[in-house]
Amino acid sequence: MTAQTSGRSATGRPVNRFAARAGPGQGGEVPTATLLDGARTLATVMLPVVARGAIVRRPRVVGLVERIDGDRRAVAQMQRVRERYGPGPVQVRIPGRRFTFLLEPDQVHRVLAQSPEPFATATREKRGALSHFQPRGVLISDPAGRARRRPLNDAALQPGRAVHEHGAHMAALISEEVDALLADVDRAGVLDWDAYVTAWMRIVRRIVLGDGARDDDAVTDDLLRLRQAGNWSFFAPTRLATRRRFLARMRAYLERAEPGSLAARLAAARAPRGSAPHEQIPQWLFAYDAGAWSSFRALALLSTFPEAGARARAEAGVAPDLPYLRACVLESLRLWPTTPAILRDTTAPTTWSSGTLPAGASVVLFAPFFHRDDTRLPQAHRFSPELWLDARTEADWPLVPFSGGPGMCPGRDVVLLTASTVLARLLAARGFRLEGGAPLSADAPMPGTLSPFRLRFSTTRPS
């Protein structure tokens, strides 16, 4: 992949990546933004991430951020910061917390590769949010807990394998659920978010917990309540009774270990003492949401770009790994990353070209900045699934929808398989036309923000 070293920023000013190097800040530390720049950065970059809901999205706020194209503004602000402070990283300090924004690819690669030490995945913010429903989940575990829990996740989810061992079972159940969805769509005359997410959740419960969980809406509702509290992190009291009931259901599904489910693979894995296997499952159920948003947006892209739609349709039913459709989902995730802020906490002092950073700092990798930086990435605002069709290496330009390094998402292949199979089944059965409202056009740059909740499609039957 090519990346420019100079060009024009979203602010319209020319940028030279080597021109604006700032020396160390006070006391040899990495530079700190001025009060005004810091406030602007927090307001345009971090506030929308928190307001949209980090753990469960608030559709109305997402719609508002779409109306002001909030992510485009956030990327422009990050470009301004880099112009002003050089290659960074740059700190933004508020009482009790210092956020440190990564500005260059080598910083991203370093932080992801050197997790969890000295860059801990279990940050203060994540512990506050996720402990509402998975206090012993791998993502918020200390290094010793992570060493016990990550292998369990890998054993069940099989990262690195395009088609999961349960791939054939998954494809069959997805076909059933897509048929049921299309029957509803034919009655209603439109495919909207509510219909799509209802079908998606049934698919997810069957894949994760087993066919017997298809209609267990109660488990999804309990998790929703806990996630709503998670949006408020440490500021919301934990709903202890709901958490106890929810985790007991996770344990019951794990013990049931229904053949063909991810729970069965987890039950078959060797679980060291204290690894809390049933507390790994909530992350899977919760993270599958991002698969719904990204696949629904991918359907919007495929409806907007007819050639891509035809290519995807031709692939459906040919091979189970669906490389082009996977690339389209990945491209949806590049354009609109579902984990926009990847966070790490420093556990020791670290040294950078612009100075040192003490232990206890929060490091922020703002993914949209790297995915949509039009001064460096010629395809920044274009729908370019081909970006994902060539083998990618760790040293590539950082496109990190699934993070990277030892903390990289172990569910990436299973979710890409789920999403691409759902899309393949839909495209094989119907034509889809994006109905008004969505700010998408084949002739215009892709918007910075695209709400999946407002997308609606009319359908046609293939002739």
User: Nearest 10 degrees: CA dihedral of 353, 79, 439, 295?
Assistant: 0
Instruction: Copy the structure tokens of residue 183.
Output: 């029957």
Q: Tell me the residue number closest to ligand HEM, measured at CB.
A: 411
CB 80 to ligand HEM: min, Å: 25
Instruction: Measure the CA–CA gap between 312 and 322, rounded to whole angstroms.
Output: 8
411 binds ligand HEM (CB under 6 A): yes
Q: Report if residue 41 touches ligand HEM, rule: CB under 6 A.
A: no
415 is a contact residue toward ligand HEM (CB under 6 A) = yes
How many residues bind ligand HEM (CB under 6 A)? The answer is 27
Closer residue to ligand HEM, CB minimum distance, 89 or 411: 411
Residues 6+ apart with CB under 8 A from 46: 99, 341, 364
Residue 283 makes contact with ligand HEM by CB under 6 A: yes
Query: Taking CB under 6 A as the rule, which mask of x and - marks residues 117-136 in contact with ligand HEM?
Result: ----x---------------
414 binds ligand HEM (CB under 6 A): yes
* One residue of 55, 103, 108, 138 binding ligand HEM per CB under 6 A: 138
Tell the burial category of 394 from Cβ atoms under 10 Å away from its Cβ (0-12, 13-18, 19+): exposed
Binders of ligand HEM in range 332-371 (CB under 6 A)? 333, 338-339, 342-343
From candidates 15, 92, 103, 157, binder to ligand HEM by CB under 6 A: 157
The three-class DSSP label of residue 342 is strand
- Selected binder of ligand HEM within 81, 170, 290, 357 (CB under 6 A): 290
Paired tokens of 159: 């990262």
- Provide the edge-to-edge strand list for the sheet that holds 362-366: 90-94, 97-101, 362-366, 341-346, 119-120
**Rounded Cα–Cα distance for residues 15 and 447 (Å):** 22
Near ligand HEM by CB under 6 A: residue from 200, 253, 284, 366: 284
CA distance 99 to 322: 40
Cα 27 → chain centroid: 36
Nearer Cβ to ligand HEM, position 15 or 208? Answer: 208
DSSP H helices in 158-192 = 167-188
Looking at 4-12, 92-100, 309-317, 401-409, which segment touches ligand HEM (CB under 6 A)? 401-409
**Exposure pattern of 50-73 as b/e (b: 16+ CB <10 Å)?**
eebbbbbbeeebbebbbeeebbbb
Q: Which is nearer to ligand HEM, 201 or 287 (CB)?
A: 287
Residues that bind ligand HEM (CB under 6 A): 121, 138-139, 150, 153, 157, 283-284, 287-288, 290-291, 294, 333, 338-339, 342-343, 401-403, 407, 409-411, 414-415
